[in-house]
Structure 1
Amino acid sequence: METLIINVLMLLMAITVMVIARSRNLFGVVVLSGLYSFLMATVLVAMDAVDVAMTEASVGAGISTVLLVGALALCKSEETKPLDMPWRALLVSGSVGAMLVYGSFGLPEFSDPQAPIHQHVVPRYLNDIQQEVDVPNVVTAVLASYRGYDTLGETTVVFTAGAGVIALLRRRRPKAAQGGPA
């Protein structure tokens, strides 16, 4: 049943991407992009990756949608029609997509207990986590200790992106309004 739900969500994501690719209304594209991010977050919840789903929902469906709607105020609401069909880009995109699908056939099944990751690192984490970290929640212990630098890097990237957005979107008063020379 879980696989069926994930497959239906992935089908909805594929349909959303096709509609985005065909749409010329930029507001519709922004709304559909938010829908795509929401569907992706739902897939991640179905795959028990709730922490990643929360990030996807907040950044993808939340902040990105708000920023794109704000950017629409600065441009036209309709995309201009291209003069010709970009066949080369379509061919490259299709080839890369086909290679990715072909490469995914070599991956282990989802939740396969015999997958290589479950034979090497996971048993060590589960067996040694209480002695090494002494945090009762396994996910918290892995993120805070074993993957601490990775988590710190992700936090730094999100913080830097937020600071950059604030720096770009803040409004400055003209110098004459501040009381100084113009």
Structure 2
Amino acid sequence: MTTSSVPPAGDKKPFLYVVVCASGIAGDVGTLITAARQRGWDVGVVATPQGLGFLDTEAIEAQTGHPIRSAWRKPGEARPLPPADAIAVAPATFNTVNKWAAGISDTLALGILCEAYGTGVPIAVLPCLNAAQAAHPAYRQSLERLTGMGVLIGSHEPHRPEAGGGADGFRWTEALDLLEPGVPA
């Protein structure tokens, strides 16, 4: 896995998958989509099945011009999104981080993340969880494993349990900064 990605040159815009998990701040993902489009990315959203319920699907599909994916496609169905040039996982929950690090691929989002390692697609992850979850030893081990796989981990600090999800301190564009070092936010 590479540690950085500069969008490729040419007529085709590089394609960024934004993987969205079930977090109270997930509804603000449009902030990341807007910033990515301003930096020259085409964007598609892949939501975990639970994360889908946190999104305004019509607004996001209008913003990206692509359908939100959350379920596996049937054999023979066309791929609704082009292959990813990079992936931003934001917000990334305790559950997704731990399942991904363990190689569990029981949702489309996790399947994409697990396969991305094998194909070398750069990934930045912005965890969003509370301090009680972050204290669990499995979480620290999962971050270590993902870091060892070349995944770029954002700096968001866990919030207090029952404190509203930490929306005010979440740095959506940090995922882009990690994927594109040297490009101003």
Q: TM bucket by the smaller chain?
A: under 0.3
TM-score normalised by the chain length of structure 2:
0.22
- For CA contacts below 8 A with separation 6 or more, give which structure has more relative contact order: 2
TM-score normalised by the chain length of structure 1:
0.22
Q: By percentage of residues, which structure has more strand?
A: 2
Q: By percentage of residues, which structure has more helix?
A: 1
